[in-house]
Amino acid sequence: MIKLHDKFFKPFISAKEIDEALARMVNEIANDIGDEIPVFIGILNGSFMVVSDFVKKYPKPCEVTFIKLASYEGVKSTEDIQRLIGLTQDLTGRTVIILEDIIDTGNTLNEVHRIFKNEKVKSLKIATLFYKPEAYKKDFKLHYVGIEIPNKFIVGYGLDYDGLGRDIPEVYQIKDTQHMTNLVLFGPPGAGKGTQAEFLKEKYNLVHISTGDVFRFNMKNETALGMLAKSYIDKGALVPDQVTIDMLNAEVEKNADANGFIFDGFPRTNAQAEALDKLMDSKDSQINAMIALEVDDEVLVKRLLERGKTSGRKDDANEAVIRNRIKVYYDETAILKDYYTAQKKYFGVDGIGSIEDITVRLSSVIDKL
């Protein structure tokens, strides 16, 4: 990931993929043109890298020039009349191929066709390395397209964000993580994690995803993933991480417009944490913090034994079992604490006190993310 000014961008198209796309375009155009000498025209500023690499690959004689479109001074309408800078040669009877770096709305093509209409060219063809079909609103034919891409902002390979990024040999896509708050909430048995998750869910309008609840839902409703998970459980085997991730992905997809998520019970290993990072990255988002409620062991034991008197859970009534559950928690959390600390995303919060006090402490962490 890279940062340009105030925006983050993630890797999108590699230099190898760009090179392969250019090679395909070169072959198509060379075959169509035959032995005729075409005039390749790049539109500045963005197309300089495309044109440079394209003509290096072109196997036959050709001419190359660049033009720039600029608004006439004093024109204030939304449909600014354009003037052409840089075109000096006579193109009468010539085959002209416009080499664009990217075509989205097609507004530039509107001006190109208007301008070249008076040049008496033999034919005018449009070639573009990148094309956003979702954004294209014109009827002009695109004769050669390298790579179709989603309608998201990209930088690199001649394309810039406020002046930066043109020099990057690969293409990066904007990564929009500002609008979501995604938390991994941890706490030992008896820390009150479930209670706090409910408060935080309401306060920040987040979706609470409990791995246990997700598993029970999928198996009860006999979804494909639920049946797959059950097949492992019935054999006494561990459910593969990918099955769990696929279940979580389905929950995230169901709540695509959420302000963020509280992940409860997942991850529990480094491999799972990495998988969760990849899942969120695929959604143009990220885990903002791992927040762990910290409570003294003796307080936990006392709380759980008290809870055991009314909960009916056998594991809340046996002190040895309780202490073992706490030990397992610390063993798991220690690994994840290191993982998220390395990313400066780990936050320990005092879990002793009233429910309201603990909520205030958690909120003070979240509000600073």
Q: What is the pLDDT along the chain (369 residues), one digit of tens a residue?
A: 788 988 888 899 999 999 999 999 999 999 999 999 999 999 988 899 999 999 999 999 999 999 887 654 443 443 454 556 777 788 999 999 999 999 999 888 888 888 888 888 999 999 999 999 999 989 999 999 999 999 999 999 999 999 999 999 999 998 765 568 999 999 999 999 999 999 999 999 999 999 999 999 999 999 999 999 999 999 988 899 999 999 999 999 898 778 899 999 899 899 999 999 999 988 878 999 999 999 999 999 999 998 888 877 777 788 999 999 999 888 888 889 999 999 999 999 999 999 999 999 999 999 998
pTM for this entry: 0.58
CA-wise closest residue to 18 among 225, 168, 163:
168
Is residue 195 annotated as involved in ligand binding?
yes
Eight-class DSSP state of 222: T
pLDDT at position 176 is 65
Q: Which residues contact 159 (CB under 8 A, 6 or more apart)?
A: 46, 101, 102, 165, 166, 171
Q: Catalytic amino acids?
A: 193, 268, 307, 313, 325
Ramachandran assignment for 335, one of left (phi > 0), alpha (psi -120 to 50 degrees), beta (any other) = alpha
Q: List residues bridging with 67 in a β-sheet.
A: 43
pLDDT at position 79 is 47
pLDDT at position 7 is 81
Task: Tell me the C-alpha distance between 251 and 237, whole Å.
Answer: 24
Is residue 194 annotated as involved in ligand binding?
yes
Task: Tell me the C-alpha distance between 4 and 174, whole Å.
Answer: 10
pLDDT at position 84 is 63
Cα dist from 159 to 15, 110, 145, 171, 362, whole Å: 14, 20, 17, 8, 42
pLDDT at position 288 is 94
Is residue 267 annotated as involved in ligand binding?
yes
Give yes or no for a cis peptide into 45 (omega within 30° of 0): yes
pLDDT at position 83 is 58
DSSP helix/strand/coil, 284? coil
Work out whether strand 95-103 and strand 123-131 pair parallel, antiparallel, or are unpaired.
parallel
